[in-house]
Amino acid sequence: MRIYPAKPSKVYFYATCLVDMFDPQAGLDAITLLEQQGIEVIFVEKQTCCGQPAYSSGYDKQAKQVAQSQIDLFPENWPVVVLSGSCGGMMHHHYRRLFKGDSNQAMVDTFCDRVFELTEFLVNVCRASLIDQGDKSVVVMHTSCAARREMNVHLTATQLLEQLDNVEIREQAYESECCGFGGTFAVRHPDISQSMVEDKTQHLCATEATELVSADWGCLLNINGALEYQNKALRGVHLASFLLARTGGQ
Amino acid sequence: MSQSDSNSLNNGVHIQPLAPEHFHQQAKAALADPQLRQNFRGAMDYLKDKRKLAFSDVAEEKHIRNLSEAIRQRCLSKLPDLLEQLESNCINNGIQVHWAEDAIQANQIIADIAQRHNAKEIIKGKSMVSEEIELNHEMAKLGINCLESDMGEYIVQLDGDKPSHIIMPAIHKNKQEVSDTFAAHLDNFTPTIDVDELIQTGRSRLRQKFQDADIGLSGVNFAVAETGTLCLVENEGNGRMCTTVPDVHIAITGIEKVVEFLTDVPPLYSALTRSATGQAITTYFNMITSPRREGELDGPQEVHLVLLDNGRTQAFQDEEMRKTLQCIRCGACMNHCPVYTRIGGHAYGTVYPGPIGKIISPHMMGLEKTKDLVTASSLCGACGEVCPVKIPIPEMLQRLRNEAKNPATAAHPEIKGQASAASKTEMLAMKSFAYAATHPAIYHLGSWSATKVRGLIPSKLGAWTQCRSAPKPASKTLHQLLKASHKKDQS
């Protein structure tokens, strides 16, 4: 169980490469959510990618170069709030492994200790309390495997949703099962990945929820791509955008 | 009967023989077989539920897993000493100990014992290590017949097939398919889908075979160093029959199965049965400490223990990958694996399928043959989450991927098949990625360009778009939007 610090006055915001490229609005919305908590949000412009594509493909050396460059961008002792469980897992968990035994291991560990996924930060550090201003809605959520098993934060995303009075949460069958993305896995083993995302979309649609949310753009890229391919009406949105819209932000 | 080289996926697609080098093709065939997928999904759901019930107390689960991990790590930390102690205590107890570096040596040892006794029939309890050395096949070449007596193994053997799961070898078959197998191979069998009847059929056909066999062969779940005791976990009683009825008992196991103390066994046993089948305890638990003693009425006259390395030393020598050897072969990782659940065990083409197979097979067969297995995971972590001895399987996969792509460094000894998946094109791509990601100006120029050509993104993007629409970049990146707002700049 992780021990959380008191709410800080400033945080670094790590948007992730996928949000930067595919859903910048989710980034803006997450910044607003944090600002609503009375926190000054620092966006370091030089941030790029956490290095996970190289790491999960077996290129530790290249991943480490990228990791070092990202760590160097966040020198102050402020929390780094990451907009994805998967990138959060990379920066909180796997950076430690990459630098294990190196001369700067202690420095890297200190950085890793400062990394938080957005929903765990809102719930466990900010103790955010949300007031639902939206209409009745039926929602299903997909939690990434990294959020669930590396960051152990699947409950915090649910806790945020549960604060919304007009939102009914539906649970899909095989909820904890992977959507089949896994970065380069999806293209190295396309047939297995396909069988996984087809099952996942089927279970999501079977809930008859009208909205799909997830706090991970990796999974959304996969799930939304499959839903669009299947001509399904359901589309996933980032949890940050959903929460902000429900609480009357913007 | 001997195991045949020819194996089949359930849908009749014959690939001879199944091999990890053909993983892609085998996985594709399995995915296209709805019956096979239904059999696995159903069976895995059942086993997952059983495990969940057995670990309904979360605090207890945590305690058992921590304890089991600590025991296995302690035992592995003194593995060479414990093996010597085991050998010496076994010898004192009258058990003959043999060392085999690889499958050839192990088969030779067993063949020598068999020939010394002029043995023609070996009856086998369940042993994955015997699968590892392809014992049945090798003995058949010498005119020695091996008969499987574990019900699942028996079914699989009738079909000339191989196990698809380390605990439940015939899990790929439903009861109708088992009935079909019996009907095809057994005389006077009336087809039925009554499970009890099917089991009774198998048991009654096997009963006399225990009496007729010259040698009984078994695996070992825990070999206790301090007492020289071989522990065997089973539910069917066939293991006890194999190890007590024939005059000669041969136990074969991997060198990692040794534990230090007798008191190490109960926690590991509990972790094993709960994780494997959701049982608090199995129907049978055998502890073998010697051959038949003076005045005893039953038991074998000779007991042999064959200790097999077969690549385990390679894993042992590397501090990180040594964790692979913590495995107590419960199969929980495969039961919870979304890949295994969909493709089944045969598609891997290795004796040990699923997550544990992906991390142990490279040490046995080399990365050249198994490189496609180590990438066949989304790294979802479901395996590591349930592993009773807490092997960080995703981290092991990560590590093996790196070894498959890169030459050895000073930090670790070279492993078999090192750098066998190295690709100049991919290396160039990864170097370019790392260069861009560490040079923000270039990186952001790249993402800016992507937003400019977003309308031109082709609708077909290779493997990605075989079941998905192509992703479309936003019209402006977050970097651009924040820059335009002038409010968050800090670089």
Q: At A199, which CATH number?
A: 3.40.50
* One domain for residues A183 and A109: no
* One domain for residues A120 and A151: no
Hey, is the C-beta of B13 within 8 angstroms of any chain A C-beta? no
**Higher local confidence (pLDDT), B453 or B457:** B453
Q: Quick check: is B324 in a domain? A: no
Taking the CA of residue B226 and the nearest CA in chain A, the distance in Å comes to: 35
Q: At what angle do helices A105-113 and A60-72 cross, to 10 degrees?
A: 70
* One domain for residues A120 and A181: no
Contact residues, chain B, for A229 at CB < 8 Å: 465, 467-469
* One domain for residues A19 and A66: yes
Do residue A187 and residue B463 have CB atoms under 8 angstroms apart?
yes
DSSP per position, chain A: -PPPPPPPSEEEEE--HHHHHH-HHHHHHHHHHHHHTT-EEEEETT----SHHHHHTT-HHHHHHHHHHHHHT--SSS-EEES-HHHHHIIIIIHHHHTTTSTTHHHHHHHHHTEEEHHHIIIIIS-------SPPEEEEEE--HIIIIIS--HHHHHHHHHT-TTEEEEPPTTTTS--S-TTTHHHHSHHHHHHHHHHHHHHHHHTT-SEEEES-HHHHHHHHHHHHHTT-S--EEEHHHHHHHHTT--
Q: What is the pLDDT of residue A176?
A: 97
Which of B274, B297, B312 delimits the end of a domain?
B312
Question: In terms of Cα–Cα distance, which of A151, A157, A194 is closest to A175?
Answer: A157
Range(s) of the domain holding residue B454: 424-485
* One domain for residues A14 and A111: yes
Hey, is the C-beta of B448 within 8 angstroms of any chain A C-beta? no
What's the mean pLDDT in B405-417? 94
Does residue B8 have a pLDDT over 60? no
Number of domains in chain A: 2
Model confidence pLDDT, tens digit, residues A44-77:
999 999 999 999 999 999 999 999 999 999 999 9
User: Do β-strands B258-259 and B222-224 pair in parallel, antiparallel, or remain unpaired?
Assistant: parallel
Name the residue facing B379 among A65, A148, A182 (closest C-beta): A182
CATH number at residue B178: 3.40.50.10420
What's the mean pLDDT in A20-48? 97
Hey, is the C-beta of A14 within 8 angstroms of any chain B C-beta? no
* One domain for residues B81 and B201: yes
Do residue A58 and residue B398 have CB atoms under 8 angstroms apart?
yes
Q: What is the pLDDT of residue A177?
A: 98
> How large a percentage of chain B has pLDDT more than 70?
96
Q: What is the pLDDT of residue B453?
A: 86
CA distances from A10 to A166, A224, B59, B132 (A): 32, 33, 37, 57
Hey, is the C-beta of A57 within 8 angstroms of any chain B C-beta? yes
Q: Which residues contact A133 (CB under 8 A, 6 or more apart)?
A: A246, A247, A248
* One domain for residues A142 and A204: yes
Which of A71, A92, A125 delimits the end of a domain?
A125
Q: What is the pLDDT of residue A250?
A: 53
Question: In terms of Cα–Cα distance, which of A209, A221, A205 is closest to A137?
Answer: A209
What's the mean pLDDT in B304-322? 97
Q: Quick check: is B208 in a domain? A: yes
Q: Quick check: is A5 in a domain? A: no
Model confidence pLDDT, tens digit, residues B23-79:
999 999 999 999 999 999 999 999 999 999 999 999 999 999 999 999 999 999 999
Which of B269, B285, B312 delimits the end of a domain?
B312
Hey, is the C-beta of B405 within 8 angstroms of any chain A C-beta? yes
Q: What is the pLDDT of residue B16?
A: 63
> B23 with B375: CB under 8 angstroms?
no
Q: What is the pLDDT of residue B10?
A: 44
Report residue B491 as tokens: 């670089």
Q: Quick check: is B352 in a domain? A: no
* One domain for residues A156 and A235: yes
Residue type, A244: L
What's the mean pLDDT in B84-97? 98
Chain A, chain B: beta-carbon pairs less than 8 Å apart: 206
* One domain for residues A178 and A232: yes
Q: Quick check: is B47 in a domain? A: yes
Contact residues, chain A, for B41 at CB < 8 Å: none
Which of A101, A125, A149 delimits the end of a domain?
A125
Question: In terms of Cα–Cα distance, which of B192, B185, B188, B138 is closest to B160?
Answer: B185
How far is Cα B64 from Cα B188, in angstroms, rounded to an integer? Answer: 48
Model confidence pLDDT, tens digit, residues B320-344:
999 999 999 999 999 999 999 999 9
Q: Quick check: is B353 in a domain? A: no
Q: What is the pLDDT of residue B486?
A: 56
Range(s) of the domain holding residue A45: 10-125
How far is Cα B125 from Cα B127, in angstroms, rounded to an integer? Answer: 6
Contact residues, chain B, for A19 at CB < 8 Å: 478
Contact residues, chain B, for A192 at CB < 8 Å: 27, 31, 339, 342-343, 376
Does residue A179 have a pLDDT over 60? yes
Q: What is the pLDDT of residue B189?
A: 95
Does residue B465 have a pLDDT over 60? yes
Q: Quick check: is A26 in a domain? A: yes
Model confidence pLDDT, tens digit, residues A168-178:
999 999 999 99
Beta strand residue intervals within B205-294, DSSP E = 215-218, 222-224, 229-234, 248-254, 258-259, 284-288
CA distances from B296 to B229, B293, B302 (A): 18, 5, 13
Strand partners, A238: A214
Contact residues, chain A, for B411 at CB < 8 Å: 101
Do residue B463 and residue A190 have CB atoms under 8 angstroms apart?
yes
* One domain for residues A73 and A163: no
Hey, is the C-beta of B420 within 8 angstroms of any chain A C-beta? no
Q: Quick check: is A219 in a domain? A: yes
Do residue B443 and residue A48 have CB atoms under 8 angstroms apart?
yes
User: Residues for chain A: how many in total?
Assistant: 250
Taking the CA of residue A77 and the nearest CA in chain B, the distance in Å comes to: 16
What's the mean pLDDT in A180-190? 95
Contact residues, chain A, for B381 at CB < 8 Å: 145-146, 148-150
Question: In terms of Cα–Cα distance, which of A193, A182, A152, A148 is closest to B397?
Answer: A182
* One domain for residues B432 and B302: no
* One domain for residues B432 and B295: no
Within 10 Å of residue B243's Cβ, how many Cβ atoms?
23
Hey, is the C-beta of A184 within 8 angstroms of any chain B C-beta? yes
Do residue B342 and residue A22 have CB atoms under 8 angstroms apart?
no
Q: What is the pLDDT of residue B462?
A: 87
Cis check: omega of the bond before B17, within 30 degrees of 0: yes
Which of A66, A90, A125 delimits the end of a domain?
A125
Which of B286, B312, B338 delimits the end of a domain?
B312
Q: Quick check: is A173 in a domain? A: yes
Hey, is the C-beta of B474 within 8 angstroms of any chain A C-beta? yes
Model confidence pLDDT, tens digit, residues B73-85:
999 999 999 999 9
Query: Phi/psi of residue B423, each to 5°?
Result: -135, 125
How far is Cα B255 from Cα B99, in angstroms, rounded to an integer? Answer: 9
Name the residue facing A24 among B401, B464, B474 (closest C-beta): B474
Hey, is the C-beta of B460 within 8 angstroms of any chain A C-beta? no
Q: Quick check: is A191 in a domain? A: yes
Report residue A80 as tokens: 């780094």
The pLDDT-based confidence of B444 (bands split at 50, 70, 90) is very high
Q: Quick check: is B199 in a domain? A: yes
Does residue B3 have a pLDDT over 50? no
Do residue B436 and residue A48 have CB atoms under 8 angstroms apart?
yes
What separation, in Å, do the N-terminal and C-terminal C-alpha atoms of chain A show? Answer: 34
Q: Quick check: is A130 in a domain? A: no
Question: Which of B379, B464, B475 has the most A C-beta neighbours within 10 Å, making it the best mutation to test the interface with A?
Answer: B379
Taking the CA of residue B157 and the nearest CA in chain A, the distance in Å comes to: 28
Q: Quick check: is A4 in a domain? A: no
Hey, is the C-beta of A235 within 8 angstroms of any chain B C-beta? no
Taking the CA of residue A62 and the nearest CA in chain B, the distance in Å comes to: 6
- Using the structure block, give the residue that is written with the tokens 């414990």: B82
Q: Is B302 helix (H, G, I), strand (E, B) or coil?
A: strand
Q: Quick check: is B2 in a domain? A: no
* One domain for residues A101 and A53: yes
Taking the CA of residue B483 and the nearest CA in chain A, the distance in Å comes to: 9
Q: Which residues contact B161 (CB under 8 A, 6 or more apart)?
A: B7, B8
Mean of the per-residue pLDDT values for chain A?
96
Model confidence pLDDT, tens digit, residues A108-163:
999 999 999 999 999 999 999 999 999 999 999 999 999 999 998 989 999 999 99
Closest chain B residue to the Cα of A65, Cα to Cα: B434
* One domain for residues A93 and A157: no
* One domain for residues B297 and B444: no
> B396 with B324: CB under 8 angstroms?
yes
* One domain for residues A143 and A237: yes
Question: In terms of Cα–Cα distance, which of B308, B438, B471, B478 is closest to A219?
Answer: B471
Q: What is the pLDDT of residue B485?
A: 78
> A85 with A146: CB under 8 angstroms?
yes
Hey, is the C-beta of A217 within 8 angstroms of any chain B C-beta? no
Report residue A165 as tokens: 């009075």
Does residue B411 have a pLDDT over 90? no
Does residue A82 have a pLDDT over 50? yes
The region of weakest confidence among B89-98, B122-131, B482-491 is B482-491
Number of domains in chain B: 2
**CA torsion sign, B139 to B104 to B391 to A16?**
negative
Taking the CA of residue B438 and the nearest CA in chain A, the distance in Å comes to: 6
Instruction: List all residues of chain A from 91 to 150 with a beta carbon under 8 Å from chain B.
Output: 94, 97, 101, 145-146, 148-150
